[in-house]
A and B are shown apart, each in its own frame.
Chain A
Amino acid sequence: MQIGELFITALGALRSNILRTLLTMLGIIIGIAAVILIISLGQGATKAITDQISSFGTNLVIIFPGSLSQGPSGTAGVKTLTVADAEAILNTNPSLNIQSVSPVVTRSFQVVANGQKVNSSIQGVAESYAAIQTISTTQGTFVTADNVSGLSRVAVLGYQVAIDLFGEGSEVVGQIVKIDNRSFRVIGVADQKGASGFVNPDDYIYVPYTTAMKVLLGQDFVQTILVETKNTNIIDQTMEDIRSLLITRHKIADGADPDFSLRSSKDALSTLGTVTGLLTSLLAGIAAISLVVGGIGIMNIMLVTVTERTKEVGLLKALGAKRRDILLQFLIESVVLTVSGGAIGIAIGVGATYGITKVANIPFIVSPSSLALAVGVSTIVGLIFGIYPAKKAADLQPIDALRYE
């Protein structure tokens, strides 16, 4: 008997008891839908975050005070990085391939203007910060070198801050904002960046780092130093150079933990990739368990089906069906069962992914490989869990099967 005809026969058998067929497939449907959903959402979320990181530039190095090996608490309140370090990185050695450097100090303050009150993260930055973080202004200018050297009390408002304080579309250059009760003149508004993870640059206010350190914070250390390299290829070498420069400057003994740490956006991307990859495979693994459970459900029903259809097997054998014909008939039936379950699961999974990505505003990605995986897995589940019942049917002796009541 031809395989194609066996498929048609199998479809007929499954259609004849549509409710049972659907219930049997349910495990596979849920399993496949879950796998598709998890893999697709994982990929979409990863893409959303990597796009965000990449938009900051992949040639970015961030220097933190303290050692990352001491954990996150190691960096809090550590005062080892200075403006002098930043200047040294920029000036001392031209071979470092540095494009620009910006020290960054930051703290949240209450900001009052125009009768409105907001809490904003104040970023004390150098003029190069705009280029490093690709910030442009919709009104006025960004912090200038003169602002920095002159300790000017000027502020560049984040996109959302400007709206919150002055309303949408207002001309705000020249207005006065009170940061921690000290007056700053607005010189510009940054363009809209959108949130990435827990930070939203639209809620920032940028001021010269010199002013921030002297007037607002009264500190002589900086929180981070941003370094932009001339291109992405030399980033590892540059990080090494910066590391040895700072080790010398900070007089760190050989083999001792340095009191600073370096991260590149490339590192962040690969860390992110590892984390999301791990998370996705973990969740997909859990979903895969439901596929195994679904497979066992299918085997169970197929065994019941074989018992129910014992007389039918006897009749078919009397009509000349060989062992192989019966084996294939039942095996194809379970494969058709799991593959159609898989197809329904794919449809539900893709649909759910589409809905969630629209709501959560992340890219809608369904990779062909995840679809191929779903089809492959459902076929294999059908084969693995179908072979035992099919073999049981094929092994029936004709007279025993015919006599079965």
Chain B
Amino acid sequence: MTTKQVPVISFQNISKDYITGTQTYQALKDISFDIYKNEFVAIMGPSGSGKSTTMHIMGALDNATDGQYFLKGKDITEYDEDALAEIRNREIGFIFQSFNLLPRTSVLKNVERPMMYADIPPDQRKDKALRSLKLVGLEEKAENLSNHISGGQIQRVAIARALVMNPSIILADEPTGNLDSKTAHTIMDFFQELNRQGNTIVLITHEDDIAAYAKRVIRLHDGTIKSDTINSDKTHANR
């Protein structure tokens, strides 16, 4: 790299302890890594490796016990609850494994929700939400209730919602965990396409064939980074 680029995400000596009773459990032990714009990173590891904790801290859902977390160069380690809520709202697009959409609510309203918290006026919200739904090819489902669409469609709506605030990173936590393998691969193709369009994507997964879609794979084990490699897997190269 010739010019010094500011990483979108920078973990500096991050540790996370969980205290249960008298026991202290160290979920993350002094881990550091940077993620730059337009990267597509998969964070892998077996359960208990600390990948969920990494996701929580990265997604501003939780604070680190130790170390510093820089988001676009800003240290947000000490941000309070409301400031973190604003970070989540503007900088991070979440896609979860399950329970992505509000039940009994239309697809459109689901996509509009983050904009409601950002106080964007209703008419602009609708335009942006429809544009975002068009990106995932679901604009004709806008008025459907969220519980009346298929699992693959739900994940695509979640992606549309994650994109709608134009966040710095898209944080996907096992986004294909509840899908059949064919649908899962369609969704992963879509993530690759988003990445090609310039989005920065962080993917949490324990499945190798899903991680294979990413350009870079960080493997965690017992709260430490076991490996951080550029993906040479054919899946990525071929698609």
Question: Which positions in A face B, CB cutoff 8 Å?
Answer: 1-2, 5, 12-13, 16, 311-312, 315-325, 397-399, 402
Closest residue of chain B to A398 (Cβ to Cβ) is B61
Partner of A320, one of B62, B90, B102, B103: B90
A319 to B122, CA, bound (A): 17
Minimum distance in angstroms from B48 CB to a CB of chain A: 14
A-side contacts of B74, CB under 8 Å: none
A13 to B109, CA, bound (A): 13
Closest residue of chain A to B113 (Cβ to Cβ) is A319
B114 is an interface residue with CB less than 8 A from chain A: yes
What are 27 A-B contacts with C-beta separation under 8 Å?
A2-B119, A12-B104, A12-B105, A16-B103, A311-B99, A312-B102, A315-B100, A316-B113, A318-B59, A318-B88, A318-B96, A319-B88, A319-B89, A319-B117, A320-B85, A320-B88, A320-B90, A321-B85, A322-B81, A322-B82, A322-B86, A322-B117, A323-B82, A324-B82, A398-B62, A399-B56, A399-B62
Minimum distance in angstroms from A328 CB to a CB of chain B: 12
Minimum distance in angstroms from B181 CB to a CB of chain A: 25
A319 to B161, CA, bound (A): 9
B149 is an interface residue with CB less than 8 A from chain A: no
Closest residue of chain A to B145 (Cβ to Cβ) is A16
**Interface of chain A: mostly helix, strand, loop or mixed:** helix
Minimum distance in angstroms from B61 CB to a CB of chain A: 4
Closest residue of chain B to A403 (Cβ to Cβ) is B52
Instruction: Determine if A323 and B105 form an interchain contact, defined as CB atoms under 8 angstroms apart.
Output: no
Chain B, 102-140, contact with A by CB distance < 8 Å: what is the 0/1 string?
Answer: 111100000001101111001000000000000000000
* A320-B61 contact, Cβ under 8 Å, with A12-B105, A315-B96: no
A12 to B102, CA, bound (A): 12
B-side contacts of A320, CB under 8 Å: 85-86, 88-90, 114, 117-118
Nearest 10 Cβ contacts at the A-B interface = A320-B89, A320-B117, A16-B104, A398-B61, A322-B85, A319-B114, A318-B94, A311-B99, A322-B82, A320-B88
Chain B, 50-63, contact with A by CB distance < 8 Å: what is the 0/1 string?
Answer: 00000010010110
B-side contacts of A13, CB under 8 Å: 104
Minimum distance in angstroms from A373 CB to a CB of chain B: 34
User: A319-B161, A324-B82, A399-B62 given. 6 additional CB < 8 A pairs?
Assistant: A5-B122, A315-B102, A318-B59, A320-B86, A320-B90, A397-B62
Residues of B in contact with A, size category:
20 to 34
Instruction: Determine if A319 and B94 form an interchain contact, defined as CB atoms under 8 angstroms apart.
Output: yes
B-side contacts of A5, CB under 8 Å: 116, 122
Question: Which positions in B face A, CB cutoff 8 Å?
Answer: 56, 59, 61-62, 81-82, 85-86, 88-90, 94, 96, 99-100, 102-105, 113-114, 116-119, 122, 161
Closest residue of chain B to A320 (Cβ to Cβ) is B89
Instruction: Determine if A317 and B88 form an interchain contact, defined as CB atoms under 8 angstroms apart.
Output: yes
A-side contacts of B56, CB under 8 Å: 399
A-side contacts of B89, CB under 8 Å: 319-320
Minimum distance in angstroms from B157 CB to a CB of chain A: 13
B-side contacts of A321, CB under 8 Å: 85, 117
B-side contacts of A16, CB under 8 Å: 103-104
A319 to B112, CA, bound (A): 10
A12 to B110, CA, bound (A): 13
A322 to B118, CA, bound (A): 10
A-side contacts of B102, CB under 8 Å: 312, 315-316
A321 to B60, CA, bound (A): 13
A315 to B104, CA, bound (A): 15
Instruction: Determine if A312 and B113 form an interchain contact, defined as CB atoms under 8 angstroms apart.
Output: no
Minimum distance in angstroms from B187 CB to a CB of chain A: 19
Closest residue of chain A to B55 (Cβ to Cβ) is A399
A324 to B82, CA, bound (A): 9
A12 to B105, CA, bound (A): 8
Instruction: Determine if A402 and B114 form an interchain contact, defined as CB atoms under 8 angstroms apart.
Output: no
Instruction: Determine if A325 and B96 form an interchain contact, defined as CB atoms under 8 angstroms apart.
Output: no
Minimum distance in angstroms from A170 CB to a CB of chain B: 75
A-side contacts of B114, CB under 8 Å: 319-320
A319 to B96, CA, bound (A): 11
A145 to B153, CA, bound (A): 101
B-side contacts of A316, CB under 8 Å: 102, 113
A318 to B94, CA, bound (A): 7
Closest residue of chain A to B104 (Cβ to Cβ) is A16
Minimum distance in angstroms from A206 CB to a CB of chain B: 75
Minimum distance in angstroms from A363 CB to a CB of chain B: 47
Minimum distance in angstroms from A56 CB to a CB of chain B: 64
Minimum distance in angstroms from B214 CB to a CB of chain A: 22
A361 to B91, CA, bound (A): 69
Instruction: Determine if B61 and A402 form an interchain contact, defined as CB atoms under 8 angstroms apart.
Output: yes
Minimum distance in angstroms from A19 CB to a CB of chain B: 14
A402 to B103, CA, bound (A): 15
Closest residue of chain A to B122 (Cβ to Cβ) is A5
A-side contacts of B61, CB under 8 Å: 317-318, 398-399, 402
A16 to B56, CA, bound (A): 32
Closest residue of chain A to B89 (Cβ to Cβ) is A320
Minimum distance in angstroms from B116 CB to a CB of chain A: 5
B-side contacts of A319, CB under 8 Å: 88-89, 94, 113-114, 117, 161
A12 to B104, CA, bound (A): 8
Closest residue of chain A to B103 (Cβ to Cβ) is A312
A119 to B116, CA, bound (A): 80
A319 to B81, CA, bound (A): 13
Partner of A1, one of B99, B117, B161: B117
A85 to B119, CA, bound (A): 86
Instruction: Determine if B117 and A325 form an interchain contact, defined as CB atoms under 8 angstroms apart.
Output: yes
Closest residue of chain B to A13 (Cβ to Cβ) is B104
A366 to B117, CA, bound (A): 43
Partner of B85, one of A311, A315, A317, A402: A317
Closest residue of chain B to A311 (Cβ to Cβ) is B99
